[in-house]
Amino acid sequence: MAAGAFGASRQEGNHGREGHVILDDAAEKSMSGNHRIADSFDEAFDQYVWTARAEKCGIDQSKWTWLASAGGRVNIIGEHTDYHEGFVFPAAIDLRTRVVGAPRQDGKLNVGTENEGNSVSAAVADLKPSEKLDWRVYVLGPFWALRESGIDVKGADVFVTGNVPFGGGLSSSASVEVALVGLGAALAGVQLEKAEIARIARKAENEFCRVPCGIMDQMAVACGREGHAMLLDCRTLEITHVPFPDDWAIVVADSGVKHSVGGGEYAKRQAQGASALEKVRRRFPSVKLGRDVTAAMLDEVQNDLEKVEYRRLHHVVTENMRCDEARWAIEHHDAPRLGALLYGSHRSLAADYEVSCFELDALVEVAAACPGIIGARLTGAGFGGNTINLVHKDKVKEFRAALEKGYRKKVGKRTVTRVVKPSEGLVVTPIDRADPRCFQEAEQEA
Ligand code: GLA
């Protein structure tokens, strides 16, 4: 992109307060609840860049009315606790999915993606979960789930783009689903709370994509707040936004091992938890899920459980406690305490929950000896994907170089590291065509 031309339009474009796009009164009024003004001029500008890209896919952009974007997510701590209605502590990040769309009245849904120009068309009324699972379910499922939730989606032309890596444990699928539910609702003229959007997106993932995930990812990518981590109670869905310290950075490191929550191991962990809980309930009938089990209860029932069942529940119980302590550590800027909790979480996920792998363990071990490290652990479901590394900001460069070198030496493979920022979750905004200059520049540059 030509920086000069871009710079000129930034200064003269349709914005007032630096970096914030001004929308007309009608547009402002049409937005409340989940509908927000684009955070920055960059974000609003991007829509024009996509326009040019979408045209290459043969998609008509002239009728686009809404744009939605949703972050990927990192989970700082609180892993495999969401489906036990426990606590999680994720943040939405600045690797994002962006979608634009125009309503149609003829019941047709056309979705184009930047990914090799893939596109799919379907009649909205005919959408139903099928046995055939490929990328299409992630872009069609949200519209099915909206209809199942009583929202009258009459049809749409949609284009999807983004930079959340697939299969990396950074919630690329939740990001696509939440962005599309947000867009679909806006196109249908319906205001929804972000938590409701997350619920609908999870329905799409559970029932249309047949992935038995919990609610963490969809809530994080929908409800995250810029500069904050988000402590979430997965039973009540109560959110506490905790400011993330300015002098700490989040570095994600890709193990290069693709993971999938749809693979059988994730469901197997859930089944092991369920069979353990059945036994716990014989003594403690009020226990509903892992969230309700205390360390004392677990001690008491230890002999009733298979060893593997005990270890699975032990992880859930201790991880819930670590989550709460991590909140204290972040609020008190206590890096050593937070680091110990992250390593503790990783060990528990590796030994008790058995969702780590050689590459993830190696990344954490190497990171622990790198300059600037606060703490590291696998993030997301595990079985591959990324680690999260909290790093003192002034040491990020040295940290990344040392981790990349150390990983290559230990594993013989390359790790891609990325610095990510805690970012806003879902942003839905009407498309503003008031700045044709941006549009022309974008077309030339894309
Ligand atoms: C995946 C799932 C989440 C959660 C994590 C593990 O990301 O989608 O619901 O269970 O794994 O914490």
* Domain residue extents for the chain: 27-242+422-439, 251-420
- pLDDT value, residue 17: 25
pTM: 0.87
Residue tagged 């498309």 (tokens): 431
The band of 22, judged by pLDDT with boundaries at 50, 70 and 90, is very low
Ligand 1 pocket, 213 CB below 6 A? yes
At 412 the pLDDT is 97
Is the confidence at residue 133, as pLDDT, over 50? yes
The CA–CA distances, whole Å, from 223 to 216, 241, 409 equal 10, 10, 39
432 pocket-lining for ligand 1 (C-beta < 6 Å): no
Q: How confident is the model at residue 430 (pLDDT cuts 50, 70, 90)?
A: confident
Q: 111 forms bridges with which residues in the sheet?
A: 120, 158
Active-site pick, 157, 217, 292, 432: 217
Max alpha carbon distance in the chain (Å)?
72
- Per-residue model confidence (pLDDT) at position 6: 19
Domain spanning 27-242+422-439, CATH architecture: 2-Layer Sandwich (3.30)
Among 209, 210, 213, 230, the mutation site with the greatest number of ligand 1 atoms within 8 A of its Cβ is: 213
Are 74 and 90 spatial neighbours (Cβ–Cβ below 8 Å)? yes
φ/ψ (deg, to 5) at 77: -165, 160
Q: What is the pLDDT of residues 74-114, one digit of tens each?
A: 999 999 999 999 999 999 999 999 898 999 999 999 998 87
- CATH homologous superfamily of 251-420 equals GHMP kinase, C-terminal domain (3.30.70.890)
Assess contact for 287 and 297: CB atoms under 8 A: yes
Rounded to the nearest angstrom, the distance between the alpha carbon of 380 and the centre of ligand 1 is 5
Q: Is the CB of 158 within 6 Å of ligand 1? A: no
> Token pair of 355, please?
């969702």
